[in-house]
Amino acid sequence: MSTTQSERLRELLEPLVTSQGLDLEEITVDSVGRKRVLRVVVDSDTGADLDQIADVSRALSAKLDETDAMGEGEYTLEVGTPGAERLLTEHRHYVRAVDRLVKFQLAEGGELVARILKVDDEGLDLEVPGVKGRKATSRRLDFPEIDKARVQVEFSRKDSKNEKEEEA
């Protein structure tokens, strides 16, 4: 997808997504043979439920039908959320990932897996899990130190809210 088409689509669709209480995270157009697929990724601080996805999908479809932003050919519109192992690229992504385990690729080289405890304008306060029975440690990571960051899926972590309720 050309930058101009991407910019035109963003300008056209972002106000609709925002009016639904969501953030427009990504737009891609993929071509497979003669078929084209327009993928729109949306999210919010509280996540997006299926009803919100359906509402925004209908609004985007109607807007695209009344313009020529996608040209004359047929295309499929897919609207969804970033998924469980999302890449963190914006400040708001880090805020939404508080209490989540994240794998960091560090600008200086190397990797770090840690839980985000707090986010501010300069960086993150992290909890680095202990290894082989050792206690977890705290670490500060400033945004310029981060090359890439991706949320990790945790299958065995107990929900800390449930643990507190069980203790009471």
Domain hosting 68: range is: 3-80
Q: What is the pLDDT of residue 162?
A: 44
Q: What is the pLDDT at residue 30?
A: 87
Give pLDDT, residue 16: 92
Work out whether the CA dihedral 140, 141, 142, 145 comes out positive or negative.
Answer: positive
Token digits for 12?
A: 């056209």
Q: What is the pLDDT of residue 82?
A: 86
Quick check: 159 pLDDT over 80? no
Amino acid at 27: I
Shared-domain flag, residues 101 and 150: yes
Helix and strand element counts for the chain (H, E) = 4, 8
Q: Please provide the average confidence, as pLDDT, over all residues in the chain.
A: 86
CATH number at residue 120: 2.30.30.100
71 and 38 in a single domain? The answer is: yes
CATH number of the domain at 45, please: 3.30.300.70
137 domain residue, yes or no: yes
Span 74-127, pLDDT tens digits: 889 999 988 877 889 899 999 999 999 999 999 999 999 999 999 999 999 999
| 62 plus 28 within the same structural domain | yes
Say how far apart CA 38 and CA 31 lie, in whole Å.
Answer: 9
- When pLDDT is cut at 50, 70 and 90, the band that residue 133 belongs to is confident
Domain count, the chain: 2
Q: Are residues 75 and 96 in the same domain?
A: no
Does 76 reside within a domain? yes
160 located within any domain? no
Secondary structure class of 48 (helix, strand, coil): coil
Q: Which of 80, 100, 130 is the last residue of a domain?
A: 80
Same domain (yes/no): 7, 75? yes
pLDDT digits (tens, 9 = 90+) for 46-84: 888 899 999 999 999 999 989 888 887 888 999 998 887
Q: How far apart are CA 96 and CA 149, in angstroms?
A: 13
Q: How far apart are CA 167 and CA 163, in angstroms?
A: 6
The pTM (predicted TM-score) of the whole model is 0.70
